[in-house]
């Protein structure tokens, strides 16, 4: 059984007005429990619309979406929140509470977590993203650093313990070290609890490190859906989607063109080993 299933979904903004725009065109897609999926595509390709459809914030103009085999329109929003958690771009712009505790407690309280369990739930969510509960719980969310704010925003969704976590550019505008930290916290949570992850990002280097399956959108359509290695062997697809190759693949491409055998090598370490092995091989052959 697919956890999430889209059947011929179309979405039109401002239908029947002069500004009508078809953002999603006939998308069909199954997402199974425990999968980690990356969604990429250039600005305006329909990524944000797609994740809003999956999380029930928009209903399709045409076609159907099923969550656990039940039509998404039949779910009540609180029940759906327990299954799908979505962290928007720049989530810290949505902070409203006076304390970190209240910020995180808002979601769980709304979906009916009892006051008795609430403290534990908030504590656990904050610890999951590496924020020290006792030190931080009474502080104002607005006085945290950029990286802390982002982690707090993610914690406020994790506190609802959703089965599927959707992240829209979770590390945009975070420094390189902060990016790695945030992704590590998220990965640990996903893996230890066998959650499903949908990651939208422009940062293909980050996508490569995190997901196994990748969906490429172009002008509202899926132009690729499959394992990530397969996409990146297919430079033309990346170009078709008008995406920039991630640095590591640009490097690979240049080195492969120079004749280095790099099949299956996707990290700096792996590539270095291949180059070293290749050079040794050549020098033995020459001598």
Partner 1 sequence: MIQLRNVSYVYHEGTIQEKVALKDINIEIPSPSFLAVIGANGSGKSTFARLLNGLFIPTYGDVIVDGLNSKNFENLWEIRKRVGLVFQNPDNQIVGMTVEEDVAFGCENLGLPPKEIEERIAFALKSVGMEEYRKYPPHLLSGGQKQRIAIAGILAMLPKYIVLDEPTTMLDPKGRKEIMEVIKKLYKEEKTSIILITHHMEEVVWADRIAVFNKGEIVLEGSPKEIFMEDEKLEKWGLSVPLVTKLSKCLVERGFEIPHPILTIEELSVWL
Among 172, 227, 233, 282, binds partner 1 (CB under 8 A): 172
Contact stretch for partner 1 (CB under 8 A) within 1-9, 56-64, 155-163, 175-183: 175-183
* Residue 282 binding partner 1, by CB under 8 A: no
Of residues 106-135, those binding partner 1 (CB under 8 A):
none
* Residue 247 binding partner 1, by CB under 8 A: yes
d(CA 73, CA 71): 5
Q: Is the distance from CB of 36 to CB of 191 less than 8 angstroms? A: no
Question: Which residue number, 42 or 221, has a Cβ lying nearer to partner 1?
Answer: 42
Report which DSSP code applies to 42: -
* Residue 17 binding partner 1, by CB under 8 A: no
Using CB under 8 A, count the residues that bind partner 1: 35
* Residue 18 binding partner 1, by CB under 8 A: no
Give me 107's structure tokens.
């979601």
Question: Which residue number, 204 or 214, has a Cβ lying nearer to partner 1?
Answer: 204
| Sheet of 164-168, strands arranged across | 84-87, 164-168, 196-200, 36-40, 213-218, 221-227
d(CA 226, CA 78): 32
Q: Is the distance from CB of 70 to CB of 240 less than 8 angstroms? A: no
* Residue 139 binding partner 1, by CB under 8 A: no
d(CA 6, CA 13): 18
Q: Is the distance from CB of 121 to CB of 113 less than 8 angstroms? A: yes
Q: Is the distance from CB of 91 to CB of 150 less than 8 angstroms? A: yes
Question: Which residue number, 159 or 200, has a Cβ lying nearer to partner 1?
Answer: 200
* Residue 202 binding partner 1, by CB under 8 A: yes
Among 250, 261, 281, 282, binds partner 1 (CB under 8 A): 250
188: three-class secondary structure by DSSP: helix
> Where do contacts with partner 1 occur on this chain (CB under 8 A)?
42-44, 143, 145-147, 172-178, 202, 204-205, 242-244, 247-248, 250-251, 254-255, 258, 260, 268-269, 271-272, 275-276, 279
């Amino acid at each position: 059984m697919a956890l999430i299933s889209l059947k011929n979904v179309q979405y039109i903004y401002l239908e029947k007005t002069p500004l009508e725009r078809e953002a999603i065109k006939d998308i069909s897609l199954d997402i199974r429990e425990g999968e980690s999926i990356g969604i990429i595509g250039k600005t305006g390709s329909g990524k944000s619309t797609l994740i809003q459809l999956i999380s029930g914030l928009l209903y399709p103009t045409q076609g159907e979406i099923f969550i656990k085999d039940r039509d998404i329109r039949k779910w009540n929003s609180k029940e759906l929140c327990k299954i799908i958690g979505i962290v928007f771009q720049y989530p810290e712009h949505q902070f409203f509470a006076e304390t970190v505790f209240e910020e995180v407690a808002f979601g769980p309280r709304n979906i009916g977590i009892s006051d008795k369990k609430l403290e534990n739930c908030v504590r656990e969510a904050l610890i999951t993203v590496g924020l020290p509960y006792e030190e931080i719980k009474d502080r104002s969310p607005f006085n945290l650093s950029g990286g802390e704010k982002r982690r707090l925003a993610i914690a406020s969704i994790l506190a609802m313990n959703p089965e599927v976590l959707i992240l829209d550019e979770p590390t945009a505008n975070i420094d390189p070290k902060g990016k790695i930290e945030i992704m590590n916290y998220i990965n640990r949570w996903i893996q230890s609890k066998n959650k499903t992850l949908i990651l939208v990002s422009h940062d293909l280097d980050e996508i490569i490190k995190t997901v196994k399956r990748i969906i490429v959108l172009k002008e509202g359509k899926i132009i690729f859906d499959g394992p990530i290695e397969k996409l990146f062997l297919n430079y033309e697809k990346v170009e078709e989607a008008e995406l920039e190759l991630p640095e590591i693949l640009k490097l690979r491409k240049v080195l492969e063109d120079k004749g280095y055998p790099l099949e299956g090598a996707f990290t700096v370490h792996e590539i270095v080993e291949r180059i070293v092995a290749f050079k040794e091989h050549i020098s033995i052959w020459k001598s």
